[in-house]
Amino acid sequence: MAASAAVSHDPLHRFIWFTRTIAFYRNQYFYQPVGGARVRIDLPEDGDVDIGHGRMLVRPRSALGGFAAGSLLTIGVDAFLAGSRDFVAVFTPTPRRALESWVNLRAGVVLTVLDNVVSVVEFADEAAGWSARPVPGLPANSAISVRELAGDDEASEALLFDVSGFLMPDTLMLGDPRTAPVLVKQLPPRFDASGLTVRQYEAVAADGTSIPYFFVGPDDAVPAGGFPTYLYGYGGFEVSLTPYYLATHGALWCAKGGAFVLANIRGGGEFGPGWHQAGVRRGKKIAQDDFAAVAADLVVRGLTTARRILGSGGSNGGLLVGNMLTRHPGSFGAIICAVPLLDMQRYTKLLAGHSWIAEYGDPDVADDWAFLQEISAYQLVRDGQDYPPVFINTTRRDDRVHPGHARKMAAKLQALGYDALYFEQDEGGHGAGADAAQRAFFYALGFAFTRQTVGGR
């Protein structure tokens, strides 16, 4: 699928690093010290491997040498190449704590951990036996990404922290692993967040699994009929949905009395490889049912009613909400289905589809089609159903998910007399337009549809 190379400029450890991507979640790694021969790293292809400062870091997606999937392990590069496999754990996951990313510094490793879907940054100190302690002074209940601030000093521990929350604009902070960072820059607010609140709840899936979700809305009594609610999800490709600044939804929806909900369903990476694996192939149907469980939980809590919930998703999330339309129509008042994957019988034959077999399965294999047909939204459309209104949109230049998925779905629904709107932009790739004007028009259409369907009393 892809190949890349990187060069280390560390004067104490010069090397070239090659990555060969075979498929999603499968990589081959090659190490070549300056002046030496290139060597393939002898590790399972489903792990992530990083080398720097003379150490190797490995995050396996399956159990490795007695360590749990999702751990972060370390070993000296020279020792590994000499045949040793005496790994030491830098991070060990728990059911609600997963490693999102890391920065490899000379003195240790900076860990960004998702603790029940909220970022916690810790520094694992090699000199202290890899004991980890929190990096002080970072905002709680946020999403945080950490980058090394490269410079001429190879021993520098300068870090950039990009911090955001649903109600907090993106904030850039400068610091290091040991002291509280200082504010560098913050984007201006895009809406008045006063009177809004963020809460985290959990729905219970059919198999008893707790499915967390964030609720962002007015800190007021629930109005008659419940809050008009925009429910967003994805549930695939090990993508974690974490708090982010609601620049658009905050201004156009929450600040006007609506609620925004972000669902952390299976198939994502919020709780490590196991959470992802539970929502792939046959489990994709389970992940989609998680989304319906979140919608139902909102109703049970008295926050809204089914007719006031709009389900929204794009790409793999388009497949998600396409299945809400066809399999859980009574749980939603409307659906927005963006750049969607919908025809699971033919998806492997269109654009990048064949590369997603590890996520979904192969429809040309009878055993795989047996479960794929249960989530192929295009094939599941039936006459005489009580489907909610749906807005399907795509772009003519989508080079990832073929626009034929959206075109066929809209045509089939319209031919059967359903309330199905369709919009196709000329440009934008697998996105919402090629420039700010096109994106603004696209979002305006979406929010106009939302207000006209679930926004009324």
pLDDT at residue number 324: 98
pLDDT digits (tens, 9 = 90+) for 78-126: 999 999 999 999 999 999 999 999 999 999 999 999 999 999 999 999 9
Q: Which two tokens stand for residue 246?
A: 């609601």
Examine the pLDDT at 129 and tell me if it is beyond 90. yes
Residue 247 has pLDDT above 60, yes or no: yes
Give Cβ neighbours of residue 241 (< 8 Å, ≥ 6 apart).
Answer: 117, 232, 233, 234, 262, 263, 264, 268, 270
Going by pLDDT thresholds of 50, 70 and 90, the confidence category of residue 406 is very high
Residue 156: per-residue pLDDT: 76
Q: What is the pLDDT of residues 196-208, one digit of tens each?
A: 999 999 999 999 9
* Residues 64, 80 contacting (CB under 8 angstroms): no
Q: Residue 152 — very low, low, confident or very high, per pLDDT cuts 50/70/90?
A: low
| pLDDT (tens digit per residue) in 263-289 | 999 999 999 999 999 999 999 999 999
**Is the pLDDT reported for residue 433 higher than 90?**
no
- Quick one: pLDDT at residue 7? 93
Residues designated catalytic: 315, 430
Percent of the chain with pLDDT over 90: 89
Say if CB 213 and CB 203 are below 8 A apart.
yes
Q: Are 217 and 201 in contact (CB under 8 A)?
A: no
pLDDT tens-digit profile of 407-427? 999 999 999 999 999 999 988
Query: What does the pLDDT look like over 298-337, one tens digit per residue?
Result: 999 999 999 999 999 999 999 999 999 999 999 999 999 9
**pTM listed for this prediction:** 0.93
Residue 371 has pLDDT above 70, yes or no: yes
Where residue 73 falls (left for φ over 0; alpha for ψ -120 to 50; beta otherwise) is: beta
Taking only the tens place, the pLDDT of each residue in 59-71 is 999 999 999 999 9
pLDDT above 90: residue 18: yes
pLDDT value for 11: 86
Tens digits of residue pLDDT in 248-267: 999 999 999 999 999 999 99
The contacts of residue 161 (CB under 8 Å, 6+ apart) are 121, 138, 144, 145, 146, 172, 173, 174, 175, 181
Assess whether pLDDT exceeds 80 at residue 155: no
pLDDT at residue 151 in the model: 60
What per-residue confidence (pLDDT) applies to 25?
Answer: 85
